[in-house]
């Protein structure tokens, strides 16, 4: 079985976040970088499927030269080879449709049985790339996947729904799945596997040679949420104040 895993490099969670002077993205000189955590769970799921079924795990990552660090991390954890779609743009430049088009063009020639992505990225958090990718490739797809069980040319998945409900669905291969974070314990790369990763093949593809097309969405401004405090004094007897307080908590604060 050939499994493709889409992996994104994102700003580390403990980075100092400062808005760039043009207000359209973060000041990247202040950032350190890491693998997108939801994608790390997709990679772990792919590696465990390969261990059970055999086959190959191929990592695909889109980004500038610095994304090679995240690609090597994925190879050190156990991926067999990688495809690096090189761009000259920062993280604000590509919307989910443009990203999915680039990934689809790079993946199509691989003819995979399964494509796994994280549920969303930690930086932009659109949560749409995997779904759009499935549509572009004409594959079945499922989101928020908790369990994956291949069976006779198909795959049975368990999806997480709202309010503690789950859905079990059987889909034909090939399929695109967006994996829920936390479903497996992530592995660490050993020193030996880190050394082996240096010899694993990484194919480089220029994004300009693929069909991203025009962006469907553009980030106009990035800014920190504004903090505001408001105090209200409720007057009246205890029953009247309690009734008014409950109404405000229900209709304005919406915690009841």
Per-domain residue ranges for the chain? Answer: 2-209
Whether the CB-CB separation of 115 and 6 falls below 8 Å is answered with yes
Confidence band, pLDDT 50/70/90 cuts, at residue 254: confident
pLDDT at 53: 92
- DSSP string across 132-149: HHHHHHT-EEEEEEEEEE
Say what the pLDDT of residue 90 is.
67
Task: Categorize the per-residue pLDDT at 114 as very low, low, confident or very high, splitting at 50, 70 and 90.
Answer: very high
CA distance 14 to 90: 19
Quickly count: other Cβ atoms within 10 Å of residue 19's Cβ: 14
Question: Quick one: average pLDDT of 114-128?
Answer: 92
β-strands 175-179, 202-206: how paired?
unpaired
Confidence band of 148 (pLDDT split at 50, 70, 90): very high
For residue range 226-249, what is the model confidence (pLDDT) as tens digits? 777 778 888 888 989 899 999 888
Q: What proportion of the chain, given as a percentage, has pLDDT over 90? A: 61
Average pLDDT for 97-117? 94
Average pLDDT, the chain: 90
> What is d(CA 75, CA 57) in angstroms, rounded to the nearest whole number?
9
| CATH class as words, domain 2-209 | alpha beta
pLDDT of residue 1: 92
Residue 130 pLDDT more than 90?
yes
Question: What per-residue confidence (pLDDT) applies to 138?
Answer: 96
Other beta carbons within 10 angstroms of residue 228's beta carbon come to: 5
Determine contact, residues 155/149, Cβ cutoff 8 Å: yes
Tokens of 141: 């797809």
Q: Which of 94-108, 145-159, 204-218, 240-254 has the lowest mean pLDDT?
A: 204-218
Q: What percent of the chain has pLDDT over 70?
A: 97
Identify the pLDDT of residue 153.
87
Q: Is the pLDDT of residue 91 over 70?
A: no
Of 84-88, 160-164, 213-217, 250-254, the one with minimum mean pLDDT is 213-217
Strand ranges, E, within the chain: 2-6, 9-11, 33-35, 56-63, 81-86, 114-118, 140-151, 154-160, 166-172, 175-179, 202-206
The model's pLDDT over 25-71, given as tens digits with 9 standing for 90+, comes to 888 887 889 999 999 999 999 999 999 999 999 999 999 999 999 99
What pLDDT is recorded for position 25? 84
Q: Please report the pLDDT score of residue 146 as a whole number.
A: 95
Residue 184 pLDDT greater than 70, yes or no: yes
Q: Could you tell me how far CA 101 lies from the centroid of its own chain?
A: 16
The pLDDT of residue 208 is: 80
């Amino acid at each position: 079985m050939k499994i493709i895993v889409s992996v994104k490099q994102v700003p580390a969670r403990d980075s100092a976040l400062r808005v760039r002077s043009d207000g359209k993205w973060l000041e990247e000189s202040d950032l350190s970088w890491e693998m997108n955590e939801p994608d790390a769970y997709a990679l772990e799921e792919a590696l465990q499927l390969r261990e059970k079924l055999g086959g190959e795990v191929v990592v695909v990552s889109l980004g500038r030269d610095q994304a090679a660090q995240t690609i090597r991390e994925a190879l050190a954890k156990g991926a067999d080879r990688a495809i690096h779609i090189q761009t000259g743009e920062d993280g604000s430049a590509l919307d989910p449709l443009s990203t999915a088009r680039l990934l689809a063009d790079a993946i199509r020639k691989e003819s995979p049985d399964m494509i796994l992505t994280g549920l969303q990225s930690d930086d932009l958090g659109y949560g749409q790339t995997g779904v759009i990718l499935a549509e572009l490739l004409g594959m079945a797809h499922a989101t928020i996947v908790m369990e994956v069980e291949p069976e006779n040319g198909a795959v049975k998945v368990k999806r997480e729904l709202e309010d503690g409900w789950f859905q079990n669905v059987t889909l034909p291969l090939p399929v695109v799945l967006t994996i829920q974070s936390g479903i497996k314990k992530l592995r660490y790369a050993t020193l030996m596997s880190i050394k082996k990763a240096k010899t694993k093949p990484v194919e480089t593809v220029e994004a300009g040679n693929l069909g991203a097309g025009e962006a469907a969405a553009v980030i106009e401004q990035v800014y920190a949420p504004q903090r505001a405090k408001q105090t209200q004094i409720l007057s009246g007897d205890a029953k009247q104040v309690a009734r008014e307080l409950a109404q405000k908590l229900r209709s304005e604060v919406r915690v009841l």
